[in-house]
Amino acid sequence: MHEPYYLTTAIAYTSRKPHIGNSYEIVMTDALARFRRMQGYDVYFLTGTDEHGQKIEEIAKESGITPQEHVDKIAGEIRGICDLLNVSYNQFIRTTSPEHMRRVQDIFQKLYDQGDIYKGEYVGKYCTPCESFWTESQLVNGKCPDCGRDVRDAKEEAYFLKLSKYQSWLEEYIEQNPDFIYPEARKKEMLNNFIKKGVQDLCVSRTTVKWGIPVPFDDKHVIYIWIDALSNYITALGYEANGNHGELYKKYWPANVHIIGKDIVRFHSIYWTIMLHALGEPIPKQVFGHPWMLFGDPKSKVLEKMSKSRGNVIYADELVEKFGVDAVRYYLLSEMPFAQDGSITYENMI
Ligand SMILES: [Zn+2]
């Protein structure tokens, strides 16, 4: 009885206050958490905030405050939205917490000591807003494949995680665990568009960014977002690189499901899965990539991503103020198809 059930959302990036499209994920995950509790599972539900990186450094500078002041403010707003939406999380993790930072450094050190992280030089195309390096072949019409903006040539000394070493293991793992990446279309996309084309070693440090967790043995470098952010799912439970894990980790890991946006399935099903395997830890049972909530009439063919510049941003707190929390939750859960993008307008909400 009371079988453990561990589920997580992605941690929200603390660059700006999130819109309702970002809040959809947390409400969907909350519905699943409540359903599992009703079924008698011993549920642990983790959410939180991702608080490092160049973009945060830049926004804080523009606002004339420190990055820490900036993330404290935004993380507070995000947590406030979770509470306003009646989200029944068990823990809200912040990647600037000292415990998380220390555990991430230990993970980095362990991977380095066992030869899975090595020092090299990164030469590639860099997208500053996305903080991502791309290879020539990944660009779409010469632009960043994630955001469509211009990229520039960049080169820096960096540490790399040996993903290539685990490519055949990963391919086999995904084939043998057909429910691991869900829905099916995402699994095919991962296998055919990314894994079978060749998994390249991943750049896991930066010297150009200051706002991050220092590499423990080389403080010119900070640990790049992947190892920092993805590790939250285990650092929150008290994972220790030396094997002396906390009680929560022993009880709840591996996760039953990571609920994330379809745009970050790649990071979870490739980077995170290989990281865990390299650490000798079990792999989560499922990575679920949900569609996006866009702006526009669901019957219309023209749906847009919400953005400040388009003036179509809808915030959860404004909706809750006007319609009440249950109406907002009902809209998010009933109007969003799980296989394709859904949408919202004030007219539809009314
Ligand atoms: Zn980009």
Q: 18 alpha carbon to ligand 1 midpoint, in Å?
A: 19
What average pLDDT does the segment 208-223 reach?
94
pLDDT tens per residue across span 221-245: 999 989 999 999 999 999 999 999 9
In this prediction, residue 171 carries a pLDDT of 96
- Would the pLDDT of 155 be above 90? no
Q: 150 alpha carbon to ligand 1 midpoint, in Å?
A: 8
Q: 305 alpha carbon to ligand 1 midpoint, in Å?
A: 15
Q: 4 alpha carbon to ligand 1 midpoint, in Å?
A: 38
In this prediction, residue 1 carries a pLDDT of 61
- Would the pLDDT of 341 be above 70? yes
Q: 134 alpha carbon to ligand 1 midpoint, in Å?
A: 9
- Expressed in percent and rounded to 5, the helix, strand and coil fractions of the chain are 40, 25, 35
**Secondary structure class of 258 (helix, strand, coil):** strand
In this prediction, residue 122 carries a pLDDT of 82
pLDDT grade, residue 154 (50/70/90)? Answer: confident
Q: 249 alpha carbon to ligand 1 midpoint, in Å?
A: 35
pLDDT tens per residue across span 5-56: 999 999 999 998 888 878 889 999 999 999 999 999 999 999 999 999 988 9
pLDDT tens per residue across span 86-132: 999 999 999 999 999 999 999 999 999 999 999 999 888 988 887 77
Q: How many CB atoms lie within 10 A of CB 305?
A: 14
Q: 144 alpha carbon to ligand 1 midpoint, in Å?
A: 5
Q: 9 alpha carbon to ligand 1 midpoint, in Å?
A: 23
Q: 226 alpha carbon to ligand 1 midpoint, in Å?
A: 16
Residue 86: partners with Cβ closer than 8 Å, 6 or more residues away? 30, 325, 329
- Domain 4-103+229-349 architecture: 3-Layer(aba) Sandwich (3.40)
Q: 69 alpha carbon to ligand 1 midpoint, in Å?
A: 26
State the distance between the two ends of the chain, measured CA to CA, in whole angstroms.
43
Q: 147 alpha carbon to ligand 1 midpoint, in Å?
A: 4
The whole-angstrom separation of Cα 181 and Cα 188 is 9
Q: 107 alpha carbon to ligand 1 midpoint, in Å?
A: 28
pLDDT tens per residue across span 74-90: 999 999 999 999 999 99
Cis, peptide link before residue 4, omega less than 30° from 0? no
Q: 82 alpha carbon to ligand 1 midpoint, in Å?
A: 28
Q: 137 alpha carbon to ligand 1 midpoint, in Å?
A: 15
Q: 281 alpha carbon to ligand 1 midpoint, in Å?
A: 32
Q: 125 alpha carbon to ligand 1 midpoint, in Å?
A: 10
Burial class (CB in 10 A: 0-12, 13-18, 19+), 326: exposed
Q: 54 alpha carbon to ligand 1 midpoint, in Å?
A: 13
Map 36-95 to HEC letters: HHHCCCEEEEEEEEECCCHHHHHHHHHHCCCHHHHHHHHHHHHHHHHHHCCCCCCEEEEC
What's the chain's average pLDDT?
A: 92
Q: 151 alpha carbon to ligand 1 midpoint, in Å?
A: 8
Q: 126 alpha carbon to ligand 1 midpoint, in Å?
A: 8
In this prediction, residue 123 carries a pLDDT of 84
Q: Which residue has the higher pLDDT, 137 or 84?
A: 84
Provide the β-strand partners of residue 91.
46
**Secondary structure class of 260 (helix, strand, coil):** strand
Tokens representing 260? 């994330």
Q: Which residue has the higher pLDDT, 206 or 132?
A: 206
**Secondary structure class of 104 (helix, strand, coil):** helix
In this prediction, residue 301 carries a pLDDT of 67
pLDDT tens per residue across span 54-70: 889 989 999 999 999 99
Q: 312 alpha carbon to ligand 1 midpoint, in Å?
A: 21
The residue assigned the tokens 């970050």 is: 264
Q: 133 alpha carbon to ligand 1 midpoint, in Å?
A: 9
b/e map 129-162, b = 16+ CB within 10 Å:
ebbbbbeeebeeeeebeeeeeebeeeebebbbbb
Q: Which amino acid, one-letter code, is at 4?
A: P
In this prediction, residue 75 carries a pLDDT of 97
In this prediction, residue 47 carries a pLDDT of 98
pLDDT tens per residue across span 261-313: 998 999 999 999 999 999 999 999 999 999 888 887 767 767 788 777 777 78
Q: 145 alpha carbon to ligand 1 midpoint, in Å?
A: 7
In this prediction, residue 173 carries a pLDDT of 97
